[in-house]
Structure 1
């Protein structure tokens, strides 16, 4: 039986390993992580999704995504369309769609293949236990973290 501390270390190692796998896939496709997040969100939600959607799905700040969007717009990979209020819809250009199809679609398909090789109970358990761990970490992290020292 695995002790809690050993499981914690193994889980953190796996989390970092998964993060590194995604980073390496992005770099291999000559994409920054933010560009990968933008293309991935469009791949999942479709053309015309909002900047807010990218931020929510990728858990990335608006400033970071906005900078990447501006860069990609200058490169002719996408166009930003103003929606209601301050909403910005993201539309890939033909060049952006071609890059997404070539670089991000294969990653999305690899994820689908990996999940399809797991049984339905395994997929459900993976998602449920990861969600539970995150909720518990938020709970105990918020309760036990000391206040950060004030900068002078």
Structure 2
């Protein structure tokens, strides 16, 4: 088996996992599972009333995992579900959830914004452009290698 010489791929993979680990540590620090963290993060990002399927699709988390975490957040009194059209369930923060988000989640957004403020506008554009290119090329190579359709990815 040929593996590309050089450390770029190893370094990229390490950095990706390190960012993932940083968010995992934040979630643990504030008493949440990773999926519960991203559910609350999504509610802040998308607004109260977002859908379970939107969170699953946006963060590439299985709907089963999202559903399980939603039940835990609901039993902890942080969110409530309200029926929408057909089987759609909208997620809303309770009063306790709003307080939790304000105290525990908003500092994460402030931290992230602070990081991006350290970049120049050009650095931000390059980071996003190169990351998009990496994802696009990975998707193409995966489709070719595993004979998948666009709907599979």
Q: TM-score under structure 1 normalisation?
A: 0.89
Q: Name the residue aligned to 1:47.
A: 48
Ranges in structure 2 where 5+ consecutive residues have no aligned partner: 148-153
Matches within 5 A, 1:78-117: 78-117=79-118
Cα deviations across residues 43-90 of structure 1 (Å, max 9, x unaligned)?
Answer: 111111111221122211111101111111112111100001111111
Q: How many residues align?
A: 145
Runs of at least 4 residues of structure 1 off by over 4 A?
Answer: none
| TM-aligned CA distance change 1:4 to 1:103, over 3 Å | farther
SS of 2:12's equivalent in the other structure is helix
Deviation at 1:123, TM superposition (A): 0.5
Matches within 5 A, 1:3-152: 5-145=6-146
Deviation at 1:142, TM superposition (A): 2.9
Bigger RCO (CA 8 Å, 6+ sep) = 1
Q: Name the residue aligned to 1:150.
A: none
SS of 2:6's equivalent in the other structure is helix
Distance in 1 of aligned mates of 2:16 and 2:144: 23
Distance in 2 of aligned mates of 1:30 and 1:23: 11
RMSD: 1.8
SS of 1:25's equivalent in the other structure is helix
Deviation at 1:145, TM superposition (A): 4.6
Deviation at 1:4, TM superposition (A): 6.9
| TM-aligned CA distance change 1:68 to 1:5, over 3 Å | same
Distance in 1 of aligned mates of 2:128 and 2:116: 11
Ranges in structure 1 where 5+ consecutive residues have no aligned partner: 147-152
| TM-aligned CA distance change 1:4 to 1:104, over 3 Å | farther
Distance in 1 of aligned mates of 2:120 and 2:5: 26
